[in-house]
Amino acid sequence: MKYQAPRGTYDILPEDIKKWHYIENIIRKLTSLYNYFEVRVPIFEQLELFQRSVGEDTDIVEKEMYAFKDKKGRELALRPEGTASIARMVAEHNLKSSKKKPLRLWYEGPMFRYSRPQKGRYRQFYQFGVECIGSSNPIVDAEIIAIGWQILQEAKVPDVSLEINSVGCPECSNDYNILLKEFLYKDKDKYCADCQRRMDQNPLRVFDCKNNSCRQLIKNAPRMLDSLCEECALHFEGVKNNLEMMKVPFNVNPEIVRGLDYYTKTAFEYKINYLGAQDALGGGGRYDELIEYLGGKQTPAVGLSMGLERIILSLEKSGFSFPEENILEVLVIPIGTCALQASIEMIQELHKADISAIIADESSSVGNNLKFCDKNNVSFAVLIGDNELKSGMYVVKDIKKKAQSEIKREEVVSFIKKYLSGVV
RNA sequence: GUGGAUGUAGUUCAAUGGCAGAGCACCGGAUUGUGGUUCCGGUUGUUGUGGGUUCGAGUCCCAUCAUCCACCCCA
């Protein structure tokens, strides 16, 4: 084989597209019910946009960026996520938003990260995101979290758990980091090598260590949730209360951190435990500083993003059968070359009536063409040969019922239409 | 980025260093223009790619590409 899709990329084949349409339709439906508008932003942006919004020290920017220079020497990068572009768009166009009516936006499309591929982890992958911009009210945090939750429920993804946390505002999270580092460095030598490295890069990660002795040590460490300032604590209470009112089940998990620097206050993840190391379907949080940081007006915002492949993989794993689409309804079978003209006209009439139809290979036998109908769930076959041309009566076969009737040429379409719409 | 496993027909998988095979799927046939079963027949192919060892490599060695698993991290 001469060419193959580049590492970490893949083709969505015709037999698989229904899976994508299935989940995309649910996203469209739910976002529209909540009055969110779709937007489309570029697939590449200035490199600096991601460096500044996602954060210089994050894995995404440090080692996973598809950065390149264009012919004019501009530093660009394929987007590793969607929120940075959304925030840029809002700041750039000074899109109007207010407490009373925040901007409600959603997007879907490919994202790119240079990481080692695995099942459920690709270099080009698809995400959708939902963003609510302009309100700091905890009810919109809950709204965003609920939309993601409902999409997963509606899609029938099994055994999802929703974990929420608050990472505080810059002030209280800063204070907390100092507190936690003090605690960790006190017994630095007692931790495993990984944890000692984590202490410098991302101290919160020490909480995830599987090593028993580390777990013991960290048990008494100060918790972010205990260090929230009054405003952040109040906000977090508000989010929890609102989720309860919405009857969205959640766990408070102080270890939810998120790998992007722009999050403030609310952080959350939708998790599953049956896709190996890929246990996050998506997540999100509040980013109250980002839009201003990118040169816009001071604008609070909250959003989520989810990976489409992981949703599809978990559905496949659960044995879900995706709705069929694009099923052929009619096969027109010309018998002999004389019937070609009439068959083409038949096809055109069927199409005008919104009935899917194709013309059969006339060099193949009638029997084989009917066999094709059986195998491919085609509802009707229309046979047109010398006899039919002479009499003006076409043979219409109901494949599933194995029934056959002779119908006047002019009435074939309405006959079939009647059956397909379930009238008879 | 680190460590490991794997790669043969469209697909699922066989083949001790000695002629590349089976099921499913696909295509054709079983007396002229009529059916999912059955029967018969056919193609499934540069054994991921490139080198090397050998009289001889799908098999052994090296490189490379890709997939998968665990880290890391996340979607």
Query: Which single residue is written with the structure tokens 């500044």?
Result: A52
Residue A370 in tokens: 């009917």
Higher pLDDT, A257 or A328: A328
Through-space separation of residue A103 CA and nucleotide B21 C1' in angstroms? 63
Query: Strand B nucleotides below 7 A of a protein CB?
Result: 1-3, 26-30, 33-36, 48-49, 65-75
pLDDT band at A423 (very low <50, low <70, confident <90, very high): low
What sign results for the dihedral spanned by CA atoms A387, A389, A392, A397? positive
Closest by CA to A103, choosing from A91, A121, A114, A116, is A91
What is the rounded average pLDDT of the residues A103-111? Answer: 97
| Structure confidence at residue A113 (pLDDT) | 96
| Structure confidence at residue A48 (pLDDT) | 96
Sketch out chain A's domains with CATH numbers.
17-169+229-317 (3.30.930.10), 330-420 (3.40.50.800)
| Structure confidence at residue A139 (pLDDT) | 96
Which residue is closest to B33 in terms of CA–C1' distance? A366
Residue A82, Cβ density class (10 Å: 0-12 exposed, 13-18 middle, ≥19 buried): buried
pLDDT band at A424 (very low <50, low <70, confident <90, very high): low
Strand partners, A303: A131, A285
| Structure confidence at residue A23 (pLDDT) | 97
Closest by CA to A82, choosing from A58, A113, A57, is A113
pLDDT digits (tens, 9 = 90+) for A27-77: 999 999 999 999 999 999 999 999 999 988 888 888 899 999 999 999 999
Phi, psi of A224 (to 5 degrees): -50, -45
Give long-range contacts, CB 8 A cutoff, 24+ apart: A369-376: A369/A331, A369/A333, A370/A333, A370/A397, A370/A399, A372/A331, A373/A331, A373/A397, A373/A399, A374/A399, A376/A328
pLDDT digits (tens, 9 = 90+) for A1-37: 568 889 999 999 888 999 999 999 999 999 999 999 9
| Structure confidence at residue A394 (pLDDT) | 95
Is residue A318 left, alpha or beta, with left meaning phi > 0 and alpha meaning psi from -120 to 50? alpha
What 3-state DSSP class applies to A10?
A: coil
Instruction: Report the C-alpha gap between A82 and A110 in whole angstroms.
Output: 9
pLDDT band at A82 (very low <50, low <70, confident <90, very high): very high
| Structure confidence at residue A421 (pLDDT) | 84
Nearest nucleotide (CA of A373 to C1'): B35
Nearest nucleotide (CA of A404 to C1'): B34
pLDDT band at A239 (very low <50, low <70, confident <90, very high): very high
Number of DSSP helices (H) and strands (E) in chain A, helices first = 16, 16
> Which of A20-24, A154-158, A215-219, A266-270 shows the lowest mean pLDDT across its residues?
A215-219
| Structure confidence at residue A1 (pLDDT) | 57
What sign results for the dihedral spanned by CA atoms A357, A361, A367, A372? negative
pLDDT digits (tens, 9 = 90+) for A397-419: 999 888 999 999 999 999 999 99
Closest by CA to A233, choosing from A252, A259, A258, is A252
The angle at the Cα of A302, spanning A310 to A269, to the nearest 5 degrees, equals 35
pLDDT digits (tens, 9 = 90+) for A186-222: 887 778 777 777 777 777 777 776 667 777 778 788 8
Nearest nucleotide (CA of A210 to C1'): B71
| Structure confidence at residue A61 (pLDDT) | 87
| Structure confidence at residue A375 (pLDDT) | 87
Sequential DSSP letters for A347-404: HHHHHHTT--EEE--TTS-HHHHHHHHHHTT--EEEEE-HHHHHHSEEEEEETTTTEE
Q: What is the rounded average pLDDT for all residues in chain A?
A: 91
Instruction: Report the C-alpha gap between A355 and A276 in whole angstroms.
Output: 44
Q: Are A331 and A369 in contact (CB under 8 A)?
A: yes
Nearest nucleotide (CA of A197 to C1'): B72
Sequential DSSP letters for A114-143: -S--BTTB-SEEEEEEEEEES---HHHHHH
Through-space separation of residue A3 CA and nucleotide B21 C1' in angstroms? 28
Through-space separation of residue A19 CA and nucleotide B34 C1' in angstroms? 36
Q: Are A22 and A156 in contact (CB under 8 A)?
A: no
What 3-state DSSP class applies to A311?
A: helix
Report the run of H or E that residue A105 belongs to, with start and end. Answer: strand A103-112
What sign results for the dihedral spanned by CA atoms A28, A32, A33, A34? positive
Strand partners, A133: A103, A301
| Structure confidence at residue A74 (pLDDT) | 96
**Alpha helices by DSSP H, A34-160:** 47-54, 59-63, 83-93, 138-154
Phi, psi of A271 (to 5 degrees): -120, 150
Through-space separation of residue A9 CA and nucleotide B53 C1' in angstroms? 36
β-strand A380-384 against A357-359: which pairing, if any?
unpaired
What is the rounded average pLDDT of the residues A277-294? Answer: 93
Q: What percent of chain A has pLDDT over 90?
A: 67
| Structure confidence at residue A160 (pLDDT) | 95
Closest by CA to A259, choosing from A305, A295, A296, is A305
> Which of A118-127, A168-177, A235-244, A245-254 shows the lowest mean pLDDT across its residues?
A168-177
Which residue is closest to B25 in terms of CA–C1' distance? A375
What is the rounded average pLDDT of the residues A145-155? Answer: 98
Residue A208 in tokens: 């995830």
Closest by CA to A294, choosing from A86, A96, A103, A104, is A86
